Amino acid sequence: MEEILAKYRIESSLSLADAAEEICKEESVGTWTELKTLEPEIQKRLSANVIELDEESKTATIAYSIDEYSHEPGGIPQLLSFVAGNLFGLSLLKHVRLVDIELPSTIVKLYQGPKFGIEGVRNLIGVKKRPLIGTIIKPKIGLSPKEQAEVFYKAARGGIDFGKDDENLVNQAFCPLLERTRQIAEAIDKVKEETGRKVYYAINVTTRADRIVEVAEDALSNGATCLMVDMLCAGYAAIRALAEDGKINVPLHIHRAGHAAFTEDPHHGITMLVLAKLARLAGGDQLHTGTVVGKMKGTKEEVIQTNDFLKNEWFGLKNVFPVASGGVHPLLIPRIVGLLGRDIVIQAGGGVHGHPGGTEAGAKALKQALDAVLQTIPLEEYAEDHKELREAVEKWK
Ligand code: CAP
Ligand code: MG
């Protein structure tokens, strides 16, 4: 029988086996006490069951029957209500961390997953092998649509491949989304005319559930080349609604603002690996997973494990471009590429717009740092005859 497997690390005064049984009851047919209404047939068919206990790592693997998680129409919200529902608050359990989930192919195949994946995104902009470099326009909020597009244009002229809104820029009165989209589209066309390079830009369409598809479709009619969603703010169902909409044919860039509330505490919550699995299922083409070396927390093991999952085969679903972002500047490029490889989107906000020479110089410095890495030349040496990189080295060393 096919089952959904969820692996939990549990801390409790109960034995591991009893603690795991509490999860099984709460997350399937039972509750805290015996029920007169629970027929043995229901119990047999729908009970979650402990299938493995590991006392050393304090982990229990629990199998949920796929009948319990009906094939459709519940999707990821329903899946989460089983594998990551009430259990986190049970007073009998001190801490619980959802370490991993394994979904059978019958479930994964109900989802279309990413429309583009790494290869699709690379084909769109014509960059085959190297890491992509991008920028988050800064200040995070406050620029008008025209100013936002001007900053992006400068960064694109400087050599970046990709630009994006920040997670808290959506459709504010000072920067209406559709006007921003039109201005950015003009900047993209201008860069193409002047340099022959195709660049793309993620418009943040995060909004309420009943509006997100409409906002996304409007953004597309106004020239959007990529759409961004704050996955934990809008929810996985919002990503899926966009990914599985036949009219939406641009990549989806997935930001994970808020993830640390789930991922950071090693004793409790949900790992980034699980969140990444759901983002791929929902149809994200690019996902923030961390840098190891930048301003945000996240261990090397964690980031590499998540990126490996995103890049590898998963029941035929397209793969996902991992995004390294947060406190990135040109001097970190060698370490990021060394740790995370070439199938990566590397983004810098402050590390571009904080360059002493401004945005265009900052983008040039980022590109020069990448060129140095690709030619295996030490940054300091490459900086000798690359002014923008030299200025970046002086500022951030
Ligand atoms: C980066 C960023 C991203 C973080 C999120 C920011 O800007 O735009 O939101 O990367 O972290 O606002 O911090 P800087 P993560 O380049 O100026 O740091 O990617 O780990 O989810
Ligand atoms: Mg940001």
Checking if the pLDDT of 84 tops 80, the result is yes
pLDDT tens digits along 71-83 = 566 699 999 999 9
User: Does residue 283's CB lie within 6 angstroms of at least one atom of ligand 1?
Assistant: no
Classify 76 in phi/psi space as left (phi over 0), alpha (psi -120 to 50) or beta. alpha
Structure confidence at residue 66 (pLDDT): 82
User: Does residue 297's CB lie within 6 angstroms of at least one atom of ligand 1?
Assistant: no
231 C-alpha to center of ligand 2: Å?
13
Q: Which residues, 6 or more positions from 270, have their beta carbon under 8 angstroms from its beta carbon?
A: 84, 97, 98, 262, 263
pLDDT tens digits along 203-246 = 999 999 999 999 999 999 999 999 999 999 999 999 999 999 99
In this prediction the pTM is: 0.97
255 counts as catalytic: yes
Are the C-beta atoms of 285 and 121 separated by less than 8 Å? yes
Mean pLDDT along residues 176-193: 98
d(CA 298, CA 302): 7
Are the C-beta atoms of 63 and 69 separated by less than 8 Å? no
d(CA 361, CA 373): 18
260 C-alpha to center of ligand 1: Å?
13
Structure confidence at residue 70 (pLDDT): 63
Q: Which domains, ranges and CATH numbers included, belong to the chain?
A: 3-108 (3.30.70.150), 117-396 (3.20.20.110)
83 C-alpha to center of ligand 1: Å?
29
